[in-house]
Structure 1
């Protein structure tokens, strides 16, 4: 199962923007995600909600795909723009649930569990509806998410990152009564230990399908990961590909 990507709140982003890629940009996952998104992008342009430090946007741009982004953290976006090729990536600062951009896109996507950062069902429904409104005819809306049942049965802490002098562990606790989970990140580095708590609101794939249907989208494909593996009873998370329905 892939690690959570902590939400882009100003306090978190200010402190950890420089460490974000080192801890969460796993080459294997990133490469598979970029390859899948490039295959879905069509003629572009594409829009990433929660673009962050450009982990996905910049490799897509290197493939010749026009990428726009939305993010709530100026610190994360400064990090993106400081990278090679990052200065030319257009990013709108704002709440990605509002999709505060103009124009239409062949692909609108969220990755790394970003959709679960939205605080409640109303915000998640708003995000899906606003993303659908920005799709060109035949456009795709794509997101990945944990399978709630897999979250509930996951045991023990997960190693997010480790290396000389640092270790980052994640332990999740669930509250099924509110469909929320909390990720506890214990970060030990340079002889100092910090504890970070990040809240998420999870939705099962059936609920996501209903949100998409209400927004004029229909499920096209669902995978068990960004490699395109089948989604089965043993899948820990999924990648759902929705397309704009005819006449929507």
Structure 2
């Protein structure tokens, strides 16, 4: 039975703490990486832009950025970060709508493609990206490598200290048959407790490349991080570049 999730539910549940959840991610290196691909004054589209962690600094550096995000809660945080309105925000489910044509750069960061819980919808998203890219345009996908998680035989518990009075406990289980990671976020703060269940349908690097090929894209390069370290079997994530086939 397919997993079902409202795409806007993630932002509704976690927009207030999202930036603290991922505060240690190497944003400056990611911005430099993406800026170099788009070129001066290039046109970029981010799918699942969240609070604008990448979209806003890229726009501040001169890119024309469209940020696609389904959650109004996330978009409100993005606009707080972007009081000058440099980023063109589009409220939409990116599995249904990828804006623009002749786009220089499209990017899907921080495991967001895996948060689409069905393989066919992931492929359809990639197909829509291929249609939006212009000649020489590039898609960048950042996702975790599933090897470590796929081997889990029992739930794993992780903790994140978000603030002196905020703790997040993450309970991770894996449906290996359907390649679905189930992560229950339990947020404890100010004497209150709330939970949210995040689903991600993961794919192996070779599978992701095949999905992209079905969508009309060819793999160009793959790195272990935003500083272009080589991707090896020890890497916990990968950043992959795709361009239109032919």
How does the TM-score come out when normalised to structure 2? Answer: 0.89
Q: Which residue of the partner structure matches residue 233 of structure 2?
A: 233
How far the C-alpha of 1:120 sits from its partner, in A, is 0.3
5 Å-filtered alignment, 1:143-162, equals 143-153=141-151, 156-162=156-162
Q: Which residue of the partner structure matches residue 165 of structure 1?
A: 165
d(CA) in 1 for partners of 2:214, 2:208 = 10
CA RMSD of aligned residues (A): 2.0
1:29 equivalent to 2:26? Answer yes
d(CA) in 1 for partners of 2:87, 2:236 = 32
Deviation string 1:110-145 (CA, Å, 9 cap, x unpaired) is: 001000111201100001110011111011111011
Query: Per the alignment, in what secondary structure is the counterpart of residue 243 of structure 1?
Result: strand
Counterpart contact for 1:58–1:85, Cα < 8 Å: no
How far the C-alpha of 1:32 sits from its partner, in A, is 2.1
d(CA) in 2 for partners of 1:159, 1:242 = 34
Describe the shift of the 1:168–1:99 C-alpha distance in structure 2 as closer, same or farther (beyond 3 A).
Answer: same
d(CA) in 1 for partners of 2:82, 2:46 = 19
Describe the shift of the 1:162–1:73 C-alpha distance in structure 2 as closer, same or farther (beyond 3 A).
Answer: closer
Deviation string 1:70-97 (CA, Å, 9 cap, x unpaired) is: 1111111122112244623112211111
Q: Which residue of the partner structure matches residue 137 of structure 1?
A: 135
Counterpart contact for 1:106–1:135, Cα < 8 Å: yes
d(CA) in 2 for partners of 1:39, 1:100 = 22
Q: Which residue of the partner structure matches residue 18 of structure 1?
A: 16
9-18 or 185-194, larger mean C-alpha shift? 9-18
The count of residues paired between Structure 1 and Structure 2 equals 239
How far the C-alpha of 1:58 sits from its partner, in A, is 0.5
How far the C-alpha of 1:153 sits from its partner, in A, is 4.2
Deviation string 1:28-86 (CA, Å, 9 cap, x unpaired) is: 42222212111222241000000111010001111111111111111111221122446
Counterpart contact for 1:159–1:170, Cα < 8 Å: yes
Q: Which residue of the partner structure matches residue 223 of structure 1?
A: 223
